[in-house]
Structures are given as C-alpha cells and as structure tokens.
C-alpha cells in the first residue's frame, strides 16, 4: 500500500554561514541558520518520508537541543529516514520537492541536488524531483530573509 507524507522547512538567512541545499554548497553571501547544516530542502524531504510511514518529525529523531547534531550534514537525517522505511520493509516510490528562494538562483544546482538526495536515500535519481521558485519579492522570502522548502514523498509499505 502506498503512503504519502508532506514536509516543510524554513530557515533564516544569516551572514557568516555556508548555504547548503539538497546536500550542495551553493555560493551566496548568506547561509541558513540552524543547529545542523540547516539544509531546508533535505529537512523537508526527511519530514515527508517520516510522515509517509506515520513517524514523528525530524526534531524527534534529531533534536536541536542535542549537541551531537550541531553542524552535521543533513544527509545523515535522510539516511535515517531511509533506514526507518527499510526496517518496515518499505520502499521509497518517489520524492517531489520545491525550494522557495528569492536568491540565489537554484536551477543551476538541481542536477547535483538530485544526485545527493538520491544517494542519501539509496534510490535512483529518477525517483527524485526538485524544483525551485521565488516568492515574487513578497514576504520574508522575497526580502531574502530566509529560504523555505516543501516536499511530498510516497512510500510503498506492506499491508
């Protein structure tokens, strides 16, 4: 039976941090603030996968109060989501995600993001969809104060 989950994440842009999205370091004057590498795209995908199997969110597995997770790459979170699915004899069917950022341009990095996400999940790049859009200069994203990501994932689980 195929189960579907959704995920959403947002982080504030700040000076003095590297910008990671989809496991790719993107050249920019600011990076995302957070306890780990603050990769909003990977966090949204993780929550979508965990939601599809009826689990709690990323914060349950990797609380930002635990110093073990400070600065770690978010691929670790995706690897754990994939492990949780595997322990239930499940299979990731697909992931579709969107990054919402006014700047920098995301499109040039999407192919590598798909590679990195697929590798962390142990699936084919054909099972990963990543898109990008702006917020048309509106709101905190339009003012370049933050970046958001949303994802949907489908997981086939035995009945």
Judge if the upstream peptide bond of residue 88 is cis by omega within 30 degrees of 0. no
Split at pLDDT 50, 70, 90, the class of 105 is very high
Handedness of CA 103, 104, 110, 113 (dihedral sign): negative
Question: Cβ neighbours of residue 76 under 8 Å, at least 6 residues apart?
Answer: 62
Residue 103 has pLDDT above 90, yes or no: yes
pTM: 0.97
How far is Cα 24 from Cα 7, in angstroms, rounded to an integer? 19
pLDDT in tens, 47-92: 999 999 999 999 999 988 988 898 899 999 999 999 999 999 999 9
Task: Output phi, psi for 4, to 5 deg.
Answer: -120, 140
Topology given in CATH for the domain delimited by 2-156: 60s Ribosomal Protein L30; Chain: A; (3.30.1330)
DSSP track, 24-70? EEE--S-EE-SSS---HHHHHHHHHHHHHTT---HHHHS-TT-GGGT
How far is Cα 21 from Cα 143, in angstroms, rounded to an integer? 19
Structure token pair of residue 147? 């970046």
Ranges of each domain in the chain:
2-156
């Amino acid at each position: 039976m195929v189960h579907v989950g959704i995920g959403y994440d947002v982080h504030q842009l700040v000076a003095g941090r590297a910008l990671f999205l989809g496991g790719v370091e993107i050249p920019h004057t600011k990076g995302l603030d957070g306890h780990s590498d603050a990769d909003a795209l990977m966090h949204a995908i993780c929550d979508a996968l965990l939601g599809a199997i009826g689990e709690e969110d990323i914060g349950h597995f990797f609380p930002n109060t635990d110093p073990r997770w400070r600065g770690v790459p978010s691929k670790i979170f995706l690897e754990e989501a994939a492990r949780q699915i595997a322990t239930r004899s499940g299979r990731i069917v697909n992931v579709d995600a969107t990054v919402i950022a006014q700047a920098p341009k995301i499109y040039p990095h999407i192919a590598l993001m798909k590679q990195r996400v697929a590798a962390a999940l142990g699936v084919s790049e054909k099972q990963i969809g990543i898109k990008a859009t702006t917020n048309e200069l509106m709101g905190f994203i339009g003012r370049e104060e933050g970046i958001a990501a949303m994802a949907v994932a489908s997981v086939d689980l035995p009945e």
